[in-house]
Amino acid sequence: MEISNSELLNQIQRAKKGEQSAFKYLLDGFWNSVYGFQIKRVKNEYEVEDIVIETFSKAFDKIETFDERYAFGTWLIAISKNIHIDKTRKKNASIYASTTAVIEDQAYKIIDGSPTPEDILITEQNVAELLRFIKILKPHYQDVINLRYFHEMSYNDISKSLGEPLSNVKVRLLRARKLLAEIITQNNED
């Protein structure tokens, strides 16, 4: 989709005022460029979709800080690049931490990989709590969360399943994740 500079600035101004249609316009207009940038780097469609969703989530949360003298697409790519770098650092730190432990001691120990009854109980409680939080969301947000994270469906599959345009699914999932995070944060503070 070709976007004129004046129309883009108009949509950014509208987004800064919180207009949902402007966010949808920006998401539709720049999704492919951010996705294309990340797929070359990550080469894993599922990870790329998560990075791109997180990119737009951060960008939309901080839209009021965007300086209109600069290119919006470049700003999005910079956010996306930083998210990928952070994820890579976290992954590498996790790998480093797990491999730098005392390996010699571990070689002689046989670890029972099956969860203990306590582990099972804790996992069930965490899932039950998460499901309670999800049920607080409106049904159309519950649907996209359920399909994406519990059925592990791609955005295209969710779009087909719900009979909704792909852009609507992306925006709805973005919004659902943000609302769910707010609910979880609020409940953890109480």
* Pick from 165, 162, 153: nearest CA to 31: 165
Residue 168 and residue 24: Cα distance in Å, rounded? 8
Element (H, E) at 78: helix 72-99
Q: Is residue 19 part of a domain?
A: yes
Judge if 181 and 145 occupy the same domain. Answer: yes
Give, for all 190 residues of the chain, the pLDDT tens digit: 567 888 999 999 999 998 888 999 999 999 999 999 999 988 888 889 889 999 998 999 899 999 988 899 999 999 999 999 988 888 777 666 665 554 545 544 545 555 566 556 556 667 778 788 889 889 988 898 888 888 888 888 999 999 988 888 888 888 888 888 888 888 877 6
- Please give the pLDDT value at position 104: 47
pLDDT of residue 93: 74
Number of domains in the chain: 2
Residues 190 and 174: their CA atoms lie apart, in Å, by 25
CA distances (Å), 95 to each of 44, 89, 99, 122, 185, in order? 19, 10, 6, 25, 28
- Residue span of the structural domain in which 125 resides: 112-189
Angle formed at CA 75 by CA 73 and CA 81, multiple of 5 degrees = 100
pLDDT reported for residue 95: 66
Is residue 103 domain-resident?
Answer: no
Residue 24 in contact with residue 167, Cβ under 8 Å?
Answer: yes
The CATH number that applies at residue 92 is 1.10.1740.10
Task: Using DSSP, state whether 165 is helix, strand or coil.
Answer: coil
Compute the distance between CA of residue 92 and CA of residue 60 in angstroms, rounded to an integer: 28
With respect to residue 70, please indicate whether it lies within any of the assigned structural domains. Answer: yes
Decide if 35 is inside a domain. yes
Give the tokens for residue 11. Answer: 């949509």
Which among 98, 124, 154 is the end of a domain? 98
d(CA 118, CA 97): 25
- Is position 165 within any domain? yes
Q: What is the SS3 assignment for 92?
A: helix
Strand ranges (E), 24-165: none
Residues 142 and 81 in one domain: no
Q: In this predicted structure, what is the pLDDT of residue 83? A: 92
The CATH number for 145's domain is 1.10.10.10
Do 155 and 87 lie in one domain? The reply is no
* pLDDT at position 190: 65
